[in-house]
Amino acid sequence: MQLAKKRKYKLNLTDLHSVCEANYARFMRLFPDFETCNTREFFIGRARVQLHVAERCRYTTIFRVLQQGADSQWLGGLKIEVRAYHDARMAEVGMFQSHRRVDGRYQYPNDRMYQQDEKCQQNQFLADWLEHCLHNGLSAIPVLSKYSAAGS
């Protein structure tokens, strides 16, 4: 009896780019005035979410995303760093919790116990979380811009 050979994981770049493009659009709907404002804050239930501009460059912006006060069972202290590429209209996870510089694929098992598709999973999580924020977030200050009109 011969053991089945395990197929090597192959990154689907098209899917990753699609998620990053959609994340850019979602992020711009949540924080449309990022060019003139450094922080956006809103609430999801008891959780307080802050989007903060950490660095602005000509073609990129680095955002820090913090969620505090949520039930500790579900993302009590979420920390994500998102790099937005304005020329490509893409946004990708640069840091998730305390993990930086995640590769496109990993051998499994590995020392850090990352999944083979860790980068894709982190960006998909960001997509799901941003959608949750768009549907359930409550802000005390309404924000209108070119991005909010396009998404309505």
Interval 111-138: pLDDT, tens: 765 666 778 888 999 999 999 999 998 8
Task: Name which of 70, 75, 60 is nearest 20 in CA terms.
Answer: 60
pLDDT score, position 60: 97
Compute the distance between CA of residue 112 and CA of residue 146 in angstroms, rounded to an integer.
Answer: 42
Instruction: Collapse the DSSP code of 54 into the 3-class scheme (helix H, G, I; strand E, B; otherwise coil) and give the result.
Output: strand
Sign of the dihedral defined by the CA atoms of residues 53, 54, 55, 60, in that order: negative
Secondary structure of residue 41 in the 3-state scheme: strand
Query: pTM above the 0.85 mark?
Result: no
